[in-house]
Structure 1
Amino acid sequence: MSTDNSREDVPVRRVDRILAFMSLGLLVLSILCFFVILIGAATHSSFGPLWSAVLRLVVFLAPVIAFVLLMVVLISSFVRRARANKGR
């Protein structure tokens, strides 16, 4: 029984890279906003109602959106690999 070790990997598409970096960027942005809120609360500074709402919205929604983007990348890569393996 021999195995085929000369298997070619499926190339990474540009859309997958863009979605992965968008996910990473949203996570970094969320962490930065979280620390801005912590530092602002520690120094008793006020951001105003608009900035406070924007910061809290980013902290709550960005990780969820980043997770969805990572799932899209993961599922699309699984589908692409399955199609590539089916063609062999």
Structure 2
Amino acid sequence: MTDNNPQNISRFERVLAFMLLGLVILSVGTFLAIIIGTWQGMGSSDFASGIWPVVVMVPYIGLPLAFILLITLMITSVVRRSRDNKRTLTQR
């Protein structure tokens, strides 16, 4: 049987999901900026000045942090589903 009640997703899970999405998009965008900059002829000395050091470091920090957020989101989702299943079993 299917349950017609929608799943209650907590605010914490929504925040985690949007943070994860934002970090991945930001990291991929900066990675593409580095690729395009290299394609346009920028050398390693050019990436050492201006805003480029920050752009270069974003994927190094953002992608592992996004992975940690993904693991956290998966764990919170499993815990929520487990609690919902226990609640429905006790109501029967």
Same fold (TM over 0.5): yes
Kindly indicate whether the alpha-carbon contact (under 8 Å) linking 1:10 and 1:84 is maintained by their aligned counterparts in 2: no
Residue 33 of structure 1 and its aligned partner are, at CA, apart by 0.4
SS at match of 1:12: coil
TM (norm. structure 1) is 0.79
Residue 50 of structure 1 and its aligned partner are, at CA, apart by 5.2
SS at match of 2:20: helix
User: In the alignment, residue 35 of structure 1 is paired with which amino acid?
Assistant: L
5+ residue gaps, structure 1: none
Structural RMSD (CA): 2.0
Percent identity, please: 35
1:39 is aligned, of 33, 36, 41, to 36
User: In the alignment, residue 52 of structure 2 is paired with which amino acid?
Assistant: S
In structure 2, the partner of 1:79 is: 79
5+ residue gaps, structure 2: none
TM (norm. structure 2) is 0.76
SS at match of 1:44: coil
Q: How does 1:1-88 map to 2 (within 5 A)?
A: 4-6=1-3, 8-45=5-42, 46-49=46-49, 51-87=51-87, 88=89
Residue 10 of structure 1 and its aligned partner are, at CA, apart by 3.5
Residue 5 of structure 1 and its aligned partner are, at CA, apart by 3.6
Kindly indicate whether the alpha-carbon contact (under 8 Å) linking 2:28 and 2:59 is maintained by their aligned counterparts in 1: yes
User: How many pairs align?
Assistant: 85
